[in-house]
Amino acid sequence: MTLRVDRVVTSGTFSLDGGTWDVDNNIWLIGDDNEVVIVDAAHTAQPIIDAVGGRKVVGIVCTHGHNDHVTVAPELAEKLDAPIYLNPADDVLWEMTHPGVKHLSLEDDQRIAVAGTDILAIHTPGHSPGSTCLYLPEAGELFSGDTLFSSGPGATGRSYSDFPTIIGSIRDKLFALPAETKVHTGHGDGTTIGTEAPVKSVDPRRSTLCESIHQGRLR
């Protein structure tokens, strides 16, 4: 079977530190015609279930523990008979949304097999302590959650986030990937590693993130 990646977009709210914001989230389905891994579980279960289309769900992998990325994880786990994976460093966030609900640990360098390939977990703290990107080496695709976006890192202005840490994660772990790697983000449009990292970019004029890292403009 041919590996494919499908996107589902759902809308809802993100809440933390007493504030609530309207957000649209990307949910990614990695698999083939027989089995699939769900990346993030945002807002509403039925559109995700519809996209699964009766395939075996190997796992529901949450890139981090913010409520807008884990909203319906337990509901999906029950309806699709699938385990939930989350880095345990984000348990403090998980417990805010799903107190007492268990999940499996997602560890750095862990591999999840699906559709004849492996998904590699890359722990990239900063946006949250347990933020994790998922990498498909054979396909050259990265699922960055809220760690890396087009022309910028994820937000670090709220509890349990840290700016120097996210910059270190991007510089040391994500910029080490091949320049042509496609980046599928947790919100909005995607990018590539080469676009964000000037030393890898075909067009360095677009490498705003790494220039900002070096010049200290991002705060």
pLDDT, residue 198, reads: 67
pLDDT per position as a tens digit, 115-174:
999 999 999 999 999 999 999 999 999 999 999 999 899 999 999 999 999 999 999 999
Fold assignment, 4-215: Metallo-beta-lactamase; Chain A (3.60.15)
175 contacts 210 by C-beta, under 8 angstroms: yes
Six token digits for residue 154: 């994820």
Residue 216, pLDDT above cutoff 70: no
Within 10 angstroms of residue 7's Cβ, the number of other Cβ atoms is 12
The mean pLDDT of the chain is 92
Domain regions of the chain by residue span: 4-215
pLDDT, residue 199, reads: 52
User: Strand 148-149 vs strand 152-153: parallel, antiparallel, or unpaired?
Assistant: antiparallel
Residue 192, pLDDT above cutoff 50: yes
pLDDT per position as a tens digit, 5-26:
999 999 999 999 999 999 999 9
175 contacts 165 by C-beta, under 8 angstroms: no
Residue 206, pLDDT above cutoff 80: no
Residue 189, pLDDT above cutoff 60: yes
- The residue written with tokens 């976006």 in the block is 149
Residue 58, pLDDT above cutoff 60: yes
pLDDT-based confidence at residue 34 (cuts at 50, 70, 90) = very high
pLDDT, residue 151, reads: 81
Q: What average pLDDT does the segment 101-109 reach?
A: 98
Give, as one character, the DSSP assignment of residue 126: S
